[in-house]
Structure 1
Amino acid sequence: MSLPPHTDEPVVVTGIGVQLAGTTTQEQFWENVSGGRSQIGRLTRFDAAAAGLPVHAAAEITSFDAARFLPDLDPRHAAKYSREILVTMAAVTQAREDADLKDSAVDPRRLSVVMSSSRGPLAWWQPVLRGEDPTAFADKGAMFRGLPGCPASLSAIHTGARGLVTTVSNACVGGHQAIGVALRELRAHSSDAVLVGGHEFPIVPEVAQCYHAAGKGVMSTESEVPGRAVRPYNADREGFALGEGSVVLCLERESSARARGARIYARILGHQSHNEAAHPTTMDLTGHVTAGLVREALADSGLGPEDVDYYCAHGTATRYNDLAESRALRALYPGRSDDLLPPISSNKPIYGHTFGIAGIINAAATSLMLHHQTLAPTINLTDPDPELDHDHVAEGARRTQVRRAVSLSFAFGSQSSVLTLEAADV
């Protein structure tokens, strides 16, 4: 999946809505990501011991008040919706409000909503299928709660969006691909603004079981300090923790955003996604395939690897992911010593692995790094694996000049994705 080469219609991020563990505003999101404040705590969503799982940590949303974030939503409607739907509606509303995108600023027929979710409403289906809620199908709201696309559809109804409304489901590259759809809409002038994001609520025993079954080092078993459960690139890394929530970006063409005086966080230059058509669960470990994809994505914007100041990693703290990313960097910069490779960091230790929204979280974090000219760190990196020992911004937030950045995303199904971004004042 690729976009047309360099366009005269740059696309910019004007709004960010966030509903994640311990986080309900983009300001809190930035504080947590840049300050290295992990929101991963002790797992409470289900009894792991009863499920026979050595899993103890997760990034959970411990409370959510729909009336606070959706005060104009009729309580009778809210009662029919699942938590996933309501949280997503809140993030969509926040992104539009953060962009100050008033009704008068965009024709509703040209306002679109594009979402990503790897599994849809699994958190709702799980107790239903177990027979724990025999009345779950007994009301009209059931038709909403069971469909993966309903959070997008109901968010569009709530915000008055009458343009394209759709949901991408493609594992961990889905968030990037949703942004790719939004870029096409905007560059083709089919939409004037797109609220693009994702929703994921995977903290259920079935999801934990399937990843635990994949083998040692996929899911973290950290039991003493939940905030240290995810340790990308560290010698003792042992996998990821599950995370949940919704994050949404408001994207517009730069010309219209500047015409209405909107604040711009960052410019999105382009997106490339491909299927390696190789191993279904392991990405290319030579680094050369991913490096080629990055080069293609940069070339679409008239850039090369030498123009990149920072890489926002997928960073799952799993053996194959960490190796693939480090080797891709070395393949991109042949002849450079490790200490001269561009900085790279992961936010998975803050919010866990959120699958379908991981790429959206990366895009939001990278946009804010470009906006604040500060790189967010990889926390919990105290003893780097010798093969992965390069510039991970492990010392904490780094104030520096960041002009252009790349976000990386990998997924089961032999898929990889690259998003290129630029500071708004470049």
Structure 2
Amino acid sequence: MSTNVTNARDRFNEYWEYDAVKIVGVIGAIYVVYAAIGLVLGYSMAGIANTLRHLTYLIAVYGMVALALNLHWGYTGLFNIGVAGFMAIGLYVTMMLAKPVETTGAAQYPGLGLPMPIAMAGGVLAAAIAGLVVALPALRLRADYLAIVTIAFSEIVRLSLKSGPLESFTIFGRELGTGGGRGIIGNYSDPMNFIFDLPAFTTFVDTTNRWFGFGPRQARALAYSLVLLLFLVGFYWLIQRTSRSPFGRVLKAIREDEEAAQALGKNTNMFKIKVFILGCALMGLAGILWRFRRTGVTPDAFRPHVTFFIWIALIIGGAGSNTGSILGSGLFVAVLFEGPRYIRRLIGSWVNVDAAPNTFAEGTGALLAADPAPLLRYTFDNLLTLQFVIMGITLVVLMQRRPEGLLGHREETAAAVPLARRPSEAASGNDGGEST
């Protein structure tokens, strides 16, 4: 019996070495837990499936941005706290390029009416150019000053999008506009129509309706979440290939010791500029995919806390690991982002919670009389507000207890080919030297 247990453990450890197994195992466990909570809450099959679909959407989006940030911080040591700004540039430029030339309503402004693929390429290019503008002066600074520059740039972008001059402007004789504080409305056709118009999508709608009770709108949302998963795989493949290339090995050398990399004849400033532009372009693409199917977006959707969320996801998974970026995004979304809301619903389904005190002082005042109930009711009522506190505590604990995250700075070979001996050589004892 013990032999079978040992063999099973060995096989599990062998399979667990594969990154794909780690990702599928952790995300699958998250789905199982959420499905179980949904059953406890009395959700229908459609409700549970829609919850898992929403989780998939969030994990894919945060995973893409965390991978792009990992390219900056995890591989090169560039402290970028302006992620939300580059996401905003990508999305806003895409929406302005894709909006039709003629619009209805006085509150809206026309666009260029370009096809969505070209508009998306323009948004990614704009984010890359913004990265270049920031990189040229900022990358000569130390890490803490780079952080100040990037977060200042992000806020400049957000406030500029809300400003009057950009609310409506003319360029090359064409009228455009960000909509100011009211935001921009993307009154173009659904970018996913090329998929929704396929005959196979009708079959997909019928299948999801039969299995989960989904209607066409929910089926479209599910299809888009699956498309985002494909983009996440593409991000992972691109950054994985980049990190294992000679270019990527120079980035790691810069992260560990920039002066040593310079001594070996590498133009480290040029490498940092290139990787900063690439990461910003990917952040712009992630911002586009995050919101471009929505009817509209406001600049406040890109406040600094968005960057804060992405950093938490990266720290949970571990800087320097692409697999860790995805795992960290999954755990962040499931535990810290959506978790408090689900816990509140779960507690509310089991316990009839009385009215909460209006202020924190009223809740804590009862502790003097050894009555914790008012404070517990106040905490339950403000659980979503306390979400930021929970995130902050989690971040502090992680930095103290496990600063490298789950898979941070994993050891990677610098060789482009495997250097381990083949099994036949190991068995014969042939080490490549001359026989005695």
Give the TM-score normalised by structure 2: 0.25
Bigger share in helix: 2
Bigger share in strand: 1
Larger Rg: 2
Give the TM-score normalised by structure 1: 0.25
